[in-house]
Amino acid sequence: MAGRSPVIGGPRRVLVTGGSGFIGSHCLAPLVARGYEVHAVSGGGRRPPEADVTWHVVDLLASGSATALVDEVRPSHLLHLAWFVVPGEVISAPANYDWVVRSVDLLRAFAARGGTRAVVSGSAYEYDWRYGYCNEARTPLVPTTVYGSCKLALWTLADSITREAGVSLAWPRPFFMYGPREHPNRLVAAVARAMLRGEPARTSHGRQIRDYLHVQDVADGMVAILDGGVTGPVNVGGGEAVTIREIVTRIGQIAGRPDLLELGALPARANDAPLVVADPTRLIEGVGWRPAYDLQAGLEETVAWWREELAREGAA
């Protein structure tokens, strides 16, 4: 995909939407370390403690808010991560359609006001999961959820908007992730929290094979993509297959409560694909990314974070 490269030697001011979210909060420190002037958007939630970040409390779903924000910040770079992502609701939520509309507003404003490089988060849910191994060029895009369909629709629109304006666009598709600041109802967080509280951790049979990354590795991949020249879709995954059973079993061992794990206590979803793994070749070759965490180290850090978080919640 052709596009205008970021201005060499010019101001590097990045606008990060979803800056207080799961991925976004882990992108801030790497962006600062790479020399960006970082402006992060929060919807009013708990912010990470990173310094050297200018915060903007904005409801991006409000009409005109995206244009006003871009007018204020005048970013050269855009890292758009904001979306509705509540577990158990995101797959079919009507808010997905609203985020397509407002994301288009944001991209048009960014392009019209001199933005040069945009990275907009897509999703592994855009792929046809019946193929199992997901490659950007070869795996069909046949989403089966509202969320996946809306992400794919936004990719088509974003490609058109940026191509017409001469803006460089990359479309990272993150796969499965875990780590500090995760929503408490997502798999790893829910299992860790239950065990640390001494409660049963109920899961499905756990035979599903997935591609899980520590969220910091995902965030580092996103930042490397923004800072590099790769364009178009880029999988953000490790390419390593692991069963859900192995993940939750390790959490039980790390938490010291393997007896609380109840595999098979919950039904698997009827359309739950047996295998979903990313081909990360474009990410590795395009920006030189490598994961810093293996599964054991990542889960150990995550369980330790939740232990501290639960203690903090109890004290509060």
In this prediction the pTM is: 0.94
> Whole-angstrom Cα distance, residue 38 to residue 111?
18
CB-based contact 303:254 (threshold 8 Å): yes
201-215: buried (b, 16+ CB within 10 Å) or exposed (e) per residue? bebbebebbbbbbbb
Q: What's the pLDDT tens digit per position in 150-187?
A: 999 999 999 999 999 999 999 999 999 999 999 999 99
Superfamily of domain 13-175+218-237: NAD(P)-binding Rossmann-like Domain (3.40.50.720)
Same topology between domain 13-175+218-237 and domain 178-210+241-276+291-315: no
Between 220 and 48, the higher pLDDT residue = 220
Task: Give the domain ranges of the chain.
Answer: 13-175+218-237, 178-210+241-276+291-315
Q: Mind listing the pLDDT tens digit for each residue in 40-75?
A: 999 766 777 767 999 999 999 999 999 999 999 999
Cβ atoms of 75 and 115 closer than 8 Å: yes
Domain 178-210+241-276+291-315 maps to which CATH number in 1.10.357.10, 3.90.25.10, 3.40.220.10, 3.40.50.970? 3.90.25.10
User: What's phi and psi for 303, nearest 5 deg?
Assistant: -65, -40
Q: What are phi and psi of 49, to 5 degrees?
A: -85, 5
Torsion sign over Cα 102, 108, 112, 115: positive
What is the per-residue pLDDT across 69-111, written as a single tens digit (0 to 9) for each? 999 999 999 999 999 999 989 999 999 999 999 999 999 999 9
